[in-house]
């Protein structure tokens, strides 16, 4: 099968070539998949896409016209794919539901610990011979209340890690995870998460109902000085509202690996360009904000798993038209 990769980076090529072992013809394009780049998929049976490719109806129609049969997401999230259009057009969509939930969970803690203990600032200071401690005061995690929104694969690991730090973990999800409860966590409503948590960590998917879950109204219900961590999807946070909360001190710290307008910036080297996004530029001016560019998944373990599961998904579809990792419209 010929598989056309979009938004492809050197590391995608490396891990997919290693997993493929010459079974399939792989072609790699750096450009994003969108209506205007569809023609690159000519002759391909499958396209392989990532989080910021635009797999909307016009793109899917273009793919269907070219005879493409499968859309393979090399990620877990699928909010960038119009599933209904794919189904109408007879295109099957598969994803990698879990490659390494530990990678994302561990990055969540890495962000929080870096931000809280001001390691991003002390790293630079020490390199310049500045060993002063002013401005580097952190707080103990032990004994704090941590609110986890979404206790699926990633959120439940994050909850356990916080339990390891001696935090009181409160969770919000439609489905309760028994092992977290047995380990001392409790499930509460969203209002309680907002009003009781010292740290709030987001791990639910981005859907219409969760878009801007963190907005001016929810921030106003939070404890003064709250720390918010988001390694899920940028659209969960109303960035302008969060900037307001940071300016008036209601939000004490913000650590994000995802940003609602990330698709025009992330995964590219834009260091020589003038930043066009004023909201993002404002975020970067806060000493108590830490941003990484959607790298929570980025470990050797995860990349190996992503490549092998994606190719297996396509092999399964080619074998009998079905795959356990297929995503369908509700």
Indicate the DSSP class of residue 35. G
Among 125, 153, 223, 250, binds ligand NAI (CB under 6 A): 153
Task: Based on the shown chain and the rule CB under 6 A, indicate whether residue 203 belongs to the binding site for ligand NAI.
Answer: yes
SS3 305: helix
Indicate the DSSP class of residue 144. -
Task: Based on the shown chain and the rule CB under 6 A, indicate whether residue 296 belongs to the binding site for ligand NAI.
Answer: yes
Identify whether 294 is a catalytic site residue. Answer: yes
Among 62, 147, 152, 252, binds ligand NAI (CB under 6 A): 152
Residue with smaller CB distance to ligand NAI, 32 or 233: 233
SS3 251: strand
Identify whether 262 is a catalytic site residue. Answer: yes
Identify whether 172 is a catalytic site residue. Answer: no
Residue 182 CA to residue 218 CA, distance in Å, equals 29
Residue with smaller CB distance to ligand NAI, 45 or 232: 232
Residue with smaller CB distance to ligand NAI, 62 or 101: 101
From 106, 233, 250, 282, active-site residue: 233
Contacts of 175 (CB under 8 A, 6+ apart): 151
From 262, 268, 282, 326, active-site residue: 262
Structure tokens at 14: 């490396």
As measured in angstroms, the least distance from the Cβ of 105 to ligand NAI is 9
Residue 168 CA to residue 101 CA, distance in Å, equals 22
**Using CB under 6 A, which of the segments 180-188, 198-206, 276-284, 317-325 binds ligand NAI?**
198-206
Task: Based on the shown chain and the rule CB under 6 A, indicate whether residue 263 belongs to the binding site for ligand NAI.
Answer: no
Chain centre to alpha carbon of residue 233: 5
Task: Based on the shown chain and the rule CB under 6 A, indicate whether residue 235 belongs to the binding site for ligand NAI.
Answer: no
| Helices (H), ranges, the chain | 10-20, 57-66, 83-88, 101-116, 119-127, 153-164, 178-182, 190-196, 216-220, 239-247, 278-283, 300-320
Among 62, 150, 235, 245, binds ligand NAI (CB under 6 A): 150
**CB 254, CB 282: distance < 8 Å:** no
In the chain the first and final C-alpha atoms are separated, in Å, by: 29
Among 26, 33, 44, 104, binds ligand NAI (CB under 6 A): 104
Residue with smaller CB distance to ligand NAI, 35 or 173: 173
The catalytic site residues sit at: 233, 262, 294
Can you give the binding site for ligand NAI, defined by CB under 6 A? 76-77, 98, 101, 104, 149-155, 172-175, 203-205, 209-210, 231-233, 257-258, 294, 296-297
């Amino acid at each position: 099968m010929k598989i056309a990769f979009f938004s492809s980076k050197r590391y995608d090529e490396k891990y997919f070539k290693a997993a493929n072992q010459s079974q399939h013809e792989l072609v790699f394009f750096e450009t994003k998949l969108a209506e205007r780049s569809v023609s690159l998929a000519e002759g391909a049976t499958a396209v392989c896409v990532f989080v910021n490719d635009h797999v909307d109806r016009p793109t899917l129609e273009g793919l269907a016209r070219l005879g493409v049969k499968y859309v393979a997401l090399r990620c877990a999230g699928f909010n960038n794919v119009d599933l209904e259009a794919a189904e109408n057009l007879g295109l099957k969509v598969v994803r990698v539901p879990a490659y390494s939930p530990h990678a994302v969970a561990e990055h969540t803690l890495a962000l929080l610990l870096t931000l809280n203990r001001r390691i991003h600032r002390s790293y630079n200071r020490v390199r310049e011979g500045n060993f002063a401690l002013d401005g580097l005061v952190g707080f103990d995690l032990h004994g704090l209340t941590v609110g986890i929104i979404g206790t699926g694969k990633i959120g439940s690991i994050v909850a356990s890690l916080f339990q390891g730090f001696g935090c009181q973990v409160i969770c919000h999800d439609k489905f309760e995870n028994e092992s977290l409860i047995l380990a001392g966590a409790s499930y509460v409503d969203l209002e309680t998460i907002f009003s009781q948590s010292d740290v709030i960590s987001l791990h639910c998917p981005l859907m219409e109902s969760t878009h801007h879950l963190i907005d001016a109204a929810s921030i106003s219900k939070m404890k003064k000085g709250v720390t918010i961590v988001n390694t899920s999807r940028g659209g969960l946070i109303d960035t302008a509202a969060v900037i307001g909360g940071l300016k008036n001190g209601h939000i004490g710290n913000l650590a994000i690996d995802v940003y609602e307008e990330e698709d025009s910036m992330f995964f590219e080297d834009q260091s020589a360009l003038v930043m066009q996004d004023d909201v993002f530029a404002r975020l970067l001016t806060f000493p108590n904000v830490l941003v990484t560019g959607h790298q929570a998944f980025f470990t050797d373990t995860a990349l190996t798993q992503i490549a092998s599961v994606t190719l297996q998904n396509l092999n399964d579809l080619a074998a009998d038209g079905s795959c356990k990792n297929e995503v369908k419209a509700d």
